[in-house]
A and B are shown apart, each in its own frame.
Chain A
Amino acid sequence: GDSVTQTEGQVALSEEDFLTIHCNYSASGYPTLFWYVQYPGEGPQLLFRASRDKEKGSSRGFEATYDKGTTSFHLRKASVQESDSAVYYCALRVDSNYQLIWGSGTKLIIKP
C-alpha cells in the first residue's frame, strides 16, 4: 500500500544551523506531496505542497523538491530559528477522495 516514511523522530539543532528532515514515499500513481507543521498547542497547518516531478515547494524559508526518481520530498531550511520548534509532517495524496497518508512526524527542537 501507499506509505510515507520520515526517518527522524526528533532533530535537535542550534539557531542558524542547516535543517534536513527526510521524507520518502511509496505510492502507486502520481501523488501530491505535502509538508505540514504543528506548533505547540495548535493543529497542523499546511506549509506547502508539490504535485509534479522536480517541482519545488517553499514557505517561510523552508523548501522541498519533489523527486520521483528517489521517491523523496526532503524538507530543508538554511538557517533555523527558535520559532521553528514544532512537529513537521510529510504527507501524500494519491486518489481523488483527497485522503492524506501521513508520515510519523519529526519533532524539531531548536536550542537558543
Chain B
Amino acid sequence: ETAVFQTPNYHVTQVGNEVSFNCKQTLGHDTMYWYKQDSKKLLKIMFSYNNKQLIVNETVPRRFSPQSSDKAHLNLRIKSVEPEDSAVYLCASRVYAEQFFGPGTRLTVL
C-alpha cells in the first residue's frame, strides 16, 4: 500500500532549467527525507526535515532546496539543473527506525 506519493514519475529537461518535484506522505510521520539514487543504485541522502528543522547534507549543491508547507509535504526544487543531476530522486518518511519510500522521480537532463 503506497503511502508516500511522488509526482511526477519522470521529467526530462534541459541544462539550466528549474524543476520541482512533489512529495506527500499520508502516514502522519514527523520526519521526511530526500535521497538521490544514481545509475549505479547508490543512495545518497540530501535532506532531512523534522519539526521544521532542516538538516542538509553538506555535499549537496546549493542549487538544490527543499520546500515544506506542512509535515506531510516535502518538495524538492532544483534551480538550474546540470547534467550530473540526472538520477532518481526518492522521498521517504520515517517512524522510529523504519523509512517508507515513494516510487521516485526519474530526472533526465539533456
Question: Which A residues lie at the B interface, using CB under 8 A?
Answer: 9, 32, 34, 38, 41-46, 49, 87, 89, 93, 98-100, 102, 104-105, 107
Smallest Cβ-Cβ distance to B31: which chain A residue: A98
Judge whether B104 is part of the interface by a CB distance below 8 angstroms: yes
- B97-A32 in contact (CB<8A): yes
Judge whether B77 is part of the interface by a CB distance below 8 angstroms: no
Sample of 7 more A-B contacts, CB < 8 Å, known A38-B41, A43-B4, A43-B90: A32-B97, A44-B43, A46-B99, A87-B41, A93-B97, A104-B40, A104-B42
Smallest Cβ-Cβ distance to A41: which chain B residue: B103
Judge whether B109 is part of the interface by a CB distance below 8 angstroms: no
- A44-B103 in contact (CB<8A): no
Q: What is the size category of the interface that chain B forms with chain A?
A: 20 to 34
User: Residue B92 contacts which of A34, A43, A49, A104 (CB distance < 8 angstroms)?
Assistant: A43
The complex places the Cα of A42 from the Cα of B37 at a distance, in Å, of 12
- B103-A42 in contact (CB<8A): yes
The complex places the Cα of A44 from the Cα of B103 at a distance, in Å, of 8
The complex places the Cα of A45 from the Cα of B43 at a distance, in Å, of 13
Smallest Cβ-Cβ distance to A103: which chain B residue: B43
Give the chain A neighbours of B99 by CB distance below 8 A: 44, 46, 100
Smallest Cβ-Cβ distance to A87: which chain B residue: B41
The complex places the Cα of A9 from the Cα of B39 at a distance, in Å, of 13
User: Residue A43 contacts which of B40, B41, B97, B102 (CB distance < 8 angstroms)?
Assistant: B102
Smallest Cβ-Cβ distance to A43: which chain B residue: B101
The complex places the Cα of A45 from the Cα of B4 at a distance, in Å, of 12
On whether A43 and B98 interact (CB within 8 A), knowing A99-B48, A105-B43, the answer reads no
9 A-B pairs with the lowest CB-CB distances in the bound complex, closest first = A43-B101, A105-B41, A102-B43, A44-B101, A46-B98, A43-B90, A87-B41, A43-B102, A42-B103
User: Residue A107 contacts which of B41, B94, B97 (CB distance < 8 angstroms)?
Assistant: B41
A-B residue pairs in contact (CB < 8 Å), sample of 13: A9-B40, A32-B97, A42-B101, A43-B92, A44-B43, A49-B98, A93-B97, A98-B94, A102-B43, A104-B42, A105-B41, A105-B42, A105-B43
